[in-house]
A and B are shown apart, each in its own frame.
Chain A
Amino acid sequence: MADPAQNVPFRGGGFRPEARRGAGLVVFVVLLLLIEWGTRAGWISNLTLPRPSDVATTLMELANSGALWSHMGPSLTRLVVGSAMGVSAGIGIGVLIGLFSLVRAGLIPLVAAIFPIPKIALLPLFVIWFGIDEGSKYALIALGTFTPTVVATYGAVDNVDRTLIRMGQSFGLSWLSIVRKIVLPGALPGILSGLRVSLAIGIILLVAAEMLGAEYGIGAYILQAGSLYDLERLFAGVVILSALGVLTSWMIGQVERRFLVWRS
């Protein structure tokens, strides 16, 4: 007699990321609880890590005393002004590089030369050029966000589907219409994902800029706490920076949801 029938063994599935709501939060909470437990039980010395609950208390005090806002205000202004300058210049130059061969040939080597320079190293120079006040801080953040934005933008313009551009030409659309209605919307997804990187770099440079000659600001606050080895305050500052990073990323996500509904 033939062998009894069996189900065909299943071999498919997997390799497909799925949304798992809350998993990120669980990792976060578990990690914090572990540290809390360790510091209380004593197997983490409080010289290495502060208690999460103490950091939370410090943050609360900071908020209640109003000191949080006197640090956040100047920091946010610097981040917004500096990255607005850097990002708008970056998108502008990036689009020009994407559209004109001469600009491309002239500027890509320059951008490649500026990109790897640690902008922090230029801070003393910026202080001389733009003054010790806000000017040098804006310039540092602007330059730091400029280069990644340029690279992302011209890459995005290069990746716009050429058949769409040919289509525009075949219907007799003007050059300006092609740029405005085909090239720019087509490059928007790439520009926005470049912006995520640029703004994160902006936050890093914000702190660097505030470590020199700033009385108020998250960077100044962290530097102060660090030199006093006040771990609770240092970590409170770091938490604020992380929150800032999450916030900018969320904001770009909102813009994407608003303008890129046409993507599947």
Chain B
Amino acid sequence: MELTIENLSHRYGDMTVLQDISLRVPAGQILCLVGPSGCGKSTLLRMVGGLEYPELGRVLQHGAPPSDCLNPLTFVFQDFALLPWRSVAGNISLVLEDHGIRGSKAKAIIDDVLARTKLSDFRDALPRQLSGGMKQRVAIARALAVNPAVMLLDEPLSALDAQTRELLMEDLVGLWQRQSFTAIYVTHNLAEAVRLGHKVAVLSRRPGQIREVIDITTPLTDRAAGDPELEALQAHLWSLMREEALAADQELVDG
């Protein structure tokens, strides 16, 4: 499924957070949205996912989602958002129950997504027993269970340490390779953006506007940490953002 954002603007009170954003997310591609903190990239993602109303403009989905898709636009959150009182399998079954999927049919789906995220041995564990990386794997498994047409990833790796991040990036590439999904991936980490994005959109800070959209043609599997081409790209992205990141850093929290 393809998504387009058309002339989207949004204000909180007097402050314009997003101004005239237009973007296209082609089917089967990952669009990375980067920008300094406070540029409204998470807000934009929530609007794409229908959790917030934009003041102006609209978000369009093109074409019907596949018939076996339970939840076309599916989020993966930074803080995992797992129910602490449900086991790994229970957290996944939560999103199936409302669609009337129970019993052996649910078990088949849960087994499949746990295998894809290498969690099969942990189906009965509680979230508090899992490491951060494992928790995010559970959240990704839960997202895969509803067979999403578009994945909306809101800084999914930002709460994890560098090594876990590296491992999960490889996992995400593997998942995309197996079955290419459409995704918007919000991050402030430029290394993640150049590793996972087919396109990288750079947002400016307050008001958030698209500064540049970069296409990266290297296939995802051929990208590795330390690739000079990607390093150069990352440096270019940083040069676009550096001044604003500095300004964001020096601002008082409540203005």
Contact = CB atoms under 8 A, between A and B. Distances in A.
Given A185-B83, A185-B85, A170 B94 contact: no
Interface stretch (A120-128, A159-167, A196-204): A159-167
B81 A164 contact: yes
Interface in A48-78: none
A173 B146 CA distance: 12
Nearest to B128: A264
B186 to A, nearest CB: 14
Interface in B82-118: 83-86, 94-95, 97-98
Given A174-B98, A177-B98, A181-B94, A167 B81 contact: yes
B95 A164 contact: no
A170 B74 contact: yes
A116 to B, nearest CB: 35
A171 B95 contact: yes
A169 interface: yes
Which of A163, A167, A261 has the most B CB atoms < 10 Å from its CB? A167
A169 B52 CA distance: 11
B51 interface: yes
Given A177-B97, A262-B126, A170 B84 contact: no
A173 B81 contact: no
Contacts of A164: 81, 83
Contacts of A163: 77, 79, 81
Interface residues of B, number: 23
A182 interface: yes
Given A177-B97, A185-B85, A169 B71 contact: no
Nearest to B152: A170
Nearest to B96: A171
A16 interface: no
B98 A262 contact: no
A260 B128 CA distance: 12
B57 to A, nearest CB: 21
A170 B49 contact: yes
Contacts of A14: none
B75 interface: yes
B84 A169 contact: no
A20 interface: no
Contacts of A185: 83, 85
Nearest to A170: B75
Given A166-B51, A262-B84, A171 B79 contact: no
A167 B127 CA distance: 16
Nearest to A188: B85
A259 to B, nearest CB: 8
A263 interface: yes
A172 interface: yes
Nearest to A259: B85
Contacts of B128: 262-264
A182 B146 CA distance: 19
A170 B83 contact: no
Contact of A171 (B74, B84, B86, B127): B74
A172 B74 CA distance: 9
B146 A171 contact: yes
Nearest to A261: B126
A263 B86 CA distance: 11
Closest 5 CB pairs between A and B? A167-B81, A262-B85, A170-B75, A171-B95, A185-B85
